[in-house]
Structure 1
Amino acid sequence: MNNGSNMKKVSAVVVTYNRIELLKENIESLLNQNTKSLNNIIIINNNSTDGTKEYLETINNKCVKIYHLNENIGGAGGFNYGIRKFIEETTDDFVWIMDDDTIPKLNALSELILASDKIGAFGYLASNVRWINGEFAKMNIPSIDSKNWLEKMDFDNAYPRIKKATFVSLLFSRSIIIKYGLPIKDFFIWGDDTEFTQRISINEPSYFVTKSVVIHKILKNEGSSIFEDSSDKSRLARYRYGFRNGYYTSKKNGKNALAIQWLYIAKTLIKLMFFKTTNRYFKIKMLFKGTVQGFFFNPVVEKLQENEGENDE
């Protein structure tokens, strides 16, 4: 991972929490990327309790920079912290962000770099996220205006414009981070990626890179749905963040977006009230709690200065 002077340099940021075996696989795939552009791997350990800290402390590679947090600040907080470290403690050109259960193909980064060369200026580039069986990962399909674009896609020559994407293999330039700030850490989980990518793509053309493939090793290939979720109450309670954060983002994006959010809330409420589901009343409580919190939720978008921390590398 040693770079030539003219090569674009990249920091990967990985946020991890209690998925040690997937994290091992993730780090191995990063270290084996078929490009020398990857200059730093920044691991944010969100106070894991499964031996992750002990494992990370065995890594002897100066390119792997490890930060152990004293509390779990959620995915949003973890990405906020990791991207901040990218700006403050490296001079790399791009940041490549992902969860610990993201396993990039060995050419995933080189295809993103190739796309950046071909496209020129961009807000962000999103990889082609697949599930373990090769199907599209349903949680990670980016928002594109064209109907049935997945079926029509020319996967050898395609960089379609996108409006939003998830934090599963996205590439941002240093200048874009400086201009638009960090993900909102107060989101904690859910919706931080939607808000952040929409914040950028509303002004900066952003693209889906079909040949940059990563595998998202989630347990089931399905989207997040409070209606279908059969988890216990402790996990279902997280959905209040989704409703709160979604309401904030739609409110910020104007009347049409807010109307769409209200329609989603109404449809979800009807399903929870009249169709068979587990923990019905608790789920309704989380919907109302999150939505009401969204009325008053007004988090700060943090911005950094370029001179906040160049180090000697």
Structure 2
Amino acid sequence: MTEQNQQRPRVVAAVVTYNRLELVRRLVTRLREVPSVDEVVVVDNASTDGTGEWLRGLDDPAVLAVTLPDNRGGAGGFHEGLRRAVEERDADLVWLMDDDGMPDPDCLDLLLAHRGELDFWGPVVVDEADPDRLVFPIRLPGGTRVVHDRSSVERAARDGLVRDVVIPFNGVLVTRELAREIGYPREEFFIWGDDHEYRLRAERAGARIATVADASVRHPSVGELGTPMMFGRTTYNHSPSDLKHYCMARNNTVNLRTYRGWPHVLMFWVKTLWFYTLTRRQPGRLALSARGFGAALRGDFTGHRRYVR
């Protein structure tokens, strides 16, 4: 990757929101308090809770409000936000942020301390109610160990970094050079797996990726991600949402086939069968999974619409 000059970078935060007015209001307020943030692009996924009206009423030239004509999910929102930040706002770095995350006041400065070393990097994402607990479990590099607590991440860090690991779109920084090289998130994914695909694409391009162990974004708990299965030898990302599960089944199949190969696809399908047959018996989820798998094989990215509420 091209080395950036060491002058102060132009940082544009890109936020995606949908029907969470109070959360996005809180987040935008925090971002405008961070001196290193030059502008904030807020992409509203056609919210119906007054978010669009609030954004249009803002009297702040440093906040660019983009209201999409329909709900394109997190994937479509981040595609649009990153594109706008790079192509229209001339960002050197884009700080990607979900509306329910809350960066610590020093988060960005701690990330910027590694500018020039990295191309795609972010903070530890911790539970807002229990800051030592990770919201998204991390598989440490060089093995199969999955950790759920911040202290394990800190112990694994070298020079403050856990390299080759990042939780995308939750306070992650992306360089303009990388975005121009690999493009923008796959908007057709809608939700689930779009962030992971973008990380895999960056990895394939040779990007320098890392988690900064002392930087934090606080995030609400997301439930049962990383549920143990197969006698504790592995985990499964169970969600009670049919929409999330369908998109996970479809998009994860696409990602594994594209970046890891058919043996990994088959293992994912076996894990799904095991989980909803033995770990948590839900025959209906197997049918839903099969619809997602079939859509992935056909390249059909329209089936999720039936589950959008």
Pick 1 or 2: higher relative contact order, CA cutoff 8 A, min separation 6: 1
Matched, 1:144 2:145: no
Structure 1 residue 274: Cα displacement: 3.9
Q: Per the alignment, in what secondary structure is the counterpart of residue 115 of structure 1?
A: coil
Structure 1 residue 201: Cα displacement: 1.9
Matched, 1:195 2:197: yes
Matches within 5 A, 1:1-313: 6-33=7-34, 36-116=35-115, 120-132=116-128, 133-139=130-136, 141=138, 144-145=141-142, 147=145, 151=152, 153-154=154-155, 157-163=159-165, 165-202=167-204, 203-218=206-221, 220-223=222-225, 229=239, 231=240, 235-255=241-261, 258-277=262-281, 280-297=282-299
- 1:220-277 per-residue CA deviation (whole Å, 9 max, x = no partner) reads 4531778854x4xxx414322111111111111143xx32332222122123134554
Structure 1 residue 212: Cα displacement: 1.6
What amino acid does structure 2 have at the position aligned with 1:273? T
- The structure with the greater share of residues assigned to strand is 2
Mark the runs of 5 or more structure 2 residues left unpaired by the alignment: 1-5, 228-235, 302-309
Q: Per the alignment, in what secondary structure is the counterpart of residue 169 of structure 1?
A: strand
Kindly report the root-mean-square deviation, in angstroms, between the aligned alpha carbons of the 2 structures.
2.5
- Whole-angstrom distance in 1 between the partners of 2:20 and 2:153: 36
Question: 1:129–1:140: 8 Å Cα contact kept in structure 2?
Answer: no
What amino acid does structure 1 have at the position aligned with 2:192? W
- 1:34-88 per-residue CA deviation (whole Å, 9 max, x = no partner) reads xx32111000000111111122223211110000111100100000011111122
- Whole-angstrom distance in 2 between the partners of 1:143 and 1:80: 28
Query: Cα distance 1:254–1:128, how it changes in 2: closer, same or farther (>3 A)?
Result: closer
Q: Per the alignment, in what secondary structure is the counterpart of residue 43 of structure 1?
A: strand
- Whole-angstrom distance in 2 between the partners of 1:145 and 1:247: 23
Query: Cα distance 1:10–1:174, how it changes in 2: closer, same or farther (>3 A)?
Result: same
What amino acid does structure 2 have at the position aligned with 1:14? V
Q: Which residue of 2 aligns with 1:309?
A: none
> Alignment identity in percent?
25
Structure 1 residue 16: Cα displacement: 0.1
- Whole-angstrom distance in 2 between the partners of 1:66 and 1:24: 12
- Whole-angstrom distance in 2 between the partners of 1:292 and 1:222: 25
What amino acid does structure 2 have at the position aligned with 1:190? W
Moved over 6 A (4+): 224-227
